[in-house]
Structure 1
């Protein structure tokens, strides 16, 4: 026995590795049991979206960063600490609330940050201080950034038009459509450059960690790469327009469209890394072996991490869930209704009910109702859209009214110059709004207060720009909506 060290403290410090590994395995297993739905939803996005395919590489890269430092890693003894476990408690609550109403973006971030805090708590401050980047790098497991697509599309269109003016190529812009002498080009979502931007962000962060020790150098390099990738995406789109225009669309928009894009990305990253390496720091550092005599608190820390997770499992399985019908019900058919015949492409899948009709004046109505929590589908989700994004772009967006009583108006235009106007709102109870966050918060309140009011989308569409939905027509539309709500409530009561 070591001299000057109490027996109890000595035993606490020398917790056998098998016990440490066993406790860590139990914690990881319970973590997966709680957060598995969020982790599975992330993997599904990686699998179905080219923008987020890099997600498959994040965890292996983090493990490789630990492996390459294995000599120093073996010198660090686990020193569990309770503080990060306490910080993780609010995240578990945030995750549970977000998961209960299918806010995947929030629930996925909460799940990954909880894992990071759990690793910090279990292995201790020294481990986290040394390996903060491999742990922090896991945040790129979360698919994020889609909200930036509209801004990036507008920015790309601005860059392309400016570059075409520099070479004196005539171009007319209408929203995201660019009209040249022989063709019409659309700056679609795929042209926003978000995939380039996210890939550049991931690679620049990794490069900075491997080559810089000074924080200002890392930040400058990351900002430089991000700005360069945005400009490069504008150049890529500009070159595709020039190639398409010069070859009468023979080249630039087939399979070679992707080849040009990735070639530009490769050149940008190669030049960035070559330039960044010129300013690299010496990143070789040593770490002293842990000789601390303080107890590692492994039992207390494990308990602080495990109990909330067990509670999280119990709460997750206790959440109410509405089973969706195979086909949404049709609840409301007005006397003057005619079959809807339009090409605006509104799409709201699943749900409790869905009605779509048009009146004698050619004005179309669409109503879809959703439960607060469903076994499949949701009102606010990426694949539910007010119009077909592959056929229309937004020319003008207007919000009318206050937060709790408002509707939105979209003016759309397609490649042929046709226009479409859509007036829409979401409704829960007496609240009518276009704010999707407010809709989610109201659904959350209804869920936890066990109120069974459905969430509803209502849309009115006219097929010509000169046709304007009047205030009276909107009032009439809302009256019809009230009938739909009443029918829905009666059906649920029966």
Structure 2
């Protein structure tokens, strides 16, 4: 009698011991589930291999995203650390994850049709935890939710932050220089001090520091904290600190060069100072984080419902093999559909753009009014022509894209008015402005370009599916819509420019006059 009581007390005090001692509940065959899950993920990678390799290509060529090579190994290691917890859980296919797989597959297909690579990559990475949840269930997925979510850092994204962070770094540096008593003359992200000229370019924006800090900050928070509010606080801290630190870094580099008579912090040491400074910032950030460190909580019994014979995962009695087949059928639809849509597009034909015909009193001139040309990648055809009306001069540049695809598309981050570190031209300002296009008020992008000999005012916008827009998201939706409906996939960039002789208002009036007269001729060439 005493021995029986002792045995029952032992099981009540240690609910994780002898969990599957009840023969009515069969212990899960984790080898089988691991094999089936691994097979499902291998097929997933095979089906979306071009998307995965597009990520690898960016990791290889970009220092900002080189950490991507480490993300998958780190995630696998973090899952391996949880093996003791996982063996206590009862895996069970969860068919509710099929809805997420369908949504992610649809997002991937639409992104492929619209040539939005980052959305394709995000959707692909999102399919990994969805597939795990489908085959192993929510209780298992919840236990490794951070390692699975950590995979998002493998997606090369964040370049949209470069322009605002360049502006912030320029503002921060110039304000500190002025507080130091150094006079500064500023034009956009370019500024001059008595000892020399400076500019905040993409590499100085601090985006690579921010991405690296966020990646390390999330990992540190997961490994050292257990309460959600502490983790969130440290992650927010890891996002703010590199932004502020990068401003001080830029200021220090300018001051080192200024105080050394422009002999230091200009060449390779410019980048060395940056990464050394970033390393120190990370050490300080982790040191501060130790003040919030928590002790690991006492493990609690994990109630999976197995002892009561419950299926709370939505598996509806399906075996992992059947769940795998259903999941693979779902994800195979999207690459096949996307390939069909792309192959069903219009046939490529030879295209030659002709200059817009002369209208009103605007006459084409046989020489260039500027040496500048916008930078558009792989257009099907392009043309640049300058016109004159009395003493007014305006130029037109058209870039035409016939069958848009990745690397040869109208909406591309590499299609810019001036490339970074251009040897002659620089973009001093950029804003949106409203112009009259055949009686309709339309928003266009306005840029002020400068060289040693000339200032230009530039208006540019996009024509796609019969609509004018400067919004990249709207343009991509229009492009996807035309492909899905089997319509023409063509699009064009329209750029007009004029020299700034006295002020911008006069230049704006000149270009508006030109559009009033010549826009019908320009549209006829699209």
TM-score exceeds 0.5:
yes
Offset of residue 130 of structure 1: 1.5
Cα offset, 1:17, TM superposition: 3.2
Which residue is equivalent to 2:12?
none
Relative to structure 1, the CA distance from residue 181 to residue 299 in structure 2 (aligned partners, 3 Å threshold; closer, same or farther) is same
Change (3 A) 1:78 1:465: farther
Counterpart CA distance in 1 for 2:417 and 2:348 is: 22
Which one of 95, 111, 114 corresponds to residue 98 of structure 1?
111
2-side partners of 1:95 and 1:75: how far apart?
A: 35
Q: How many residues align?
A: 478
Distance 1:445 1:394 in 2: 35
d(CA) in 2 for partners of 1:99, 1:330: 28
Contact 2:30 2:87 in 1 (8 A): no
Residue 239 of structure 1: how far off its partner (Å): 0.7
Partner secondary structure for residue 382 of structure 1: coil
1:50 aligned counterpart, secondary structure: coil
Query: 1:146-225 maps to which residues of 2 (within 5 A)?
Result: 146-225=159-238
Paired residues of 2:447 and 2:459 also in contact (CA < 8 A):
no
Taking a change above 3 Å as real, the CA distance of residues 189 and 417 of structure 1, as seen in their structure-2 partners, is farther
Larger deviation, residues 335-344 vs 145-154: 335-344
> 1:48-67 deviations in whole A, cap 9, x for unaligned?
21111111111111112122
Paired position in structure 1 for 2:376 = 348
Quote how far apart the aligned CAs of 1:441 are.
Answer: 1.1
Corresponding residue number in structure 2 for 1:491: none
Conserved? CA contact 1:412–1:421, under 8 Å: yes
How far apart in 1 are the matches of 2:44 and 2:57?
A: 19
Q: Paired residue for 1:311, among 317, 320, 333?
A: 333
**Comparing 142-151 and 285-294, the one that deviates more:** 285-294
In the alignment, is residue 447 of structure 1 matched against residue 483 of structure 2? yes
Q: Residues 207-239 of structure 1, C-alpha deviation per residue, up to 9 Å, x if partnerless?
A: 000111111111111222222211110010001
Of 395-404 and 87-96, deviating more is 395-404
Question: What's the counterpart of residue 474 of structure 1?
Answer: 515
1:80-129 residue CA offsets vs partner (Å, 9 max, x unmatched): 21112222211111110011111112221111112121122222222222
Match of 2:399 in 1: 368
Matches within 5 A, 1:382-393: 382-391=413-422, 392-393=426-427
Partner of 1:314: helix, strand, or coil? helix
Partner of 1:320, secondary structure, is helix
493, 496, 501: which one aligns with 1:457 = 493
Q: 1:245 to 1:113 in 2, by over 3 A?
A: same
Q: Which runs of 5+ in 1 are unaligned?
A: 486-494
SS at match of 1:319: helix
C-alpha displacement of 1:415: 7.0
1:22 Cα shift?
A: 4.8
Q: In structure 2, do the counterparts of structure 1 residues 444 and 458 end up closer, same or farther at CA, with 3 Å as the change threshold?
A: same
Contact 2:101 2:331 in 1 (8 A): no
CA contact (8 A) 1:160 1:238 kept: yes
Q: Does 2:446 align with 1:410?
A: yes
Query: What runs of 5+ residues in structure 2 fail to find an aligned partner?
Result: 1-19, 358-363
Alpha-carbon distance between aligned partners in 2 of 1:345 and 1:155, rounded to the nearest angstrom: 28
Q: How much has 1:245 moved relative to structure 2?
A: 1.6
- Show the 5 A alignment for 1:477-488: 477-485=518-526
1:436 pairs, out of 469, 472, 487, with 472
Equivalence for 2:10? none
Structure 1 CA distance, aligned partners of 2:253 and 2:48? 43
CA offsets 1:399-455 (integer angstroms, 9 cap, x no match): 215999624242324475852211111112431121221111111111111111511
TM-score by length of 1: 0.88
Deviation at 1:338, TM superposition (A): 3.5
Residue 338 (1) aligns with residue 366 (2): yes
Does the aligned pair in 2 maintain the 1:324–1:350 contact within 8 Å? no
Coordinate RMSD, CA, aligned: 2.9
Alpha-carbon contact 1:428-1:456 (below 8 Å) kept: yes
Pairing partner for 1:425 from 461, 465, 474: 461
Match of 1:277, SS?
helix
The answer (yes or no) to whether the contact 1:400–1:408 under 8 Å persists in 2 is: yes
| Stretch deviating more after TM superposition (457-466 or 402-411) | 402-411
Q: 1:490 — aligned with what?
A: none
- Aligned-pair CA distance for 1:311: 1.4
Q: What TM-score, normalized by structure 2, do the two folds share?
A: 0.83
1:104/1:156 Cα in 2 relative to 1: closer, same or farther (>3 Å)? same
Structure-2 change in CA distance of 1:266 and 1:81 (3 Å): same
Partner residue, 1:245: 258
Specify the SS of the correspondent of 1:252.
Answer: coil
- The alpha-carbon deviation at position 281 of structure 1 amounts to 0.7
Structure 2 equivalent of residue 358 of structure 1? 386
CA contact (8 A) 1:426 1:434 kept: yes
**Match of residue 78 from structure 2:** 65
Q: Distance in 1 between matches of 2:57 and 2:298?
A: 39
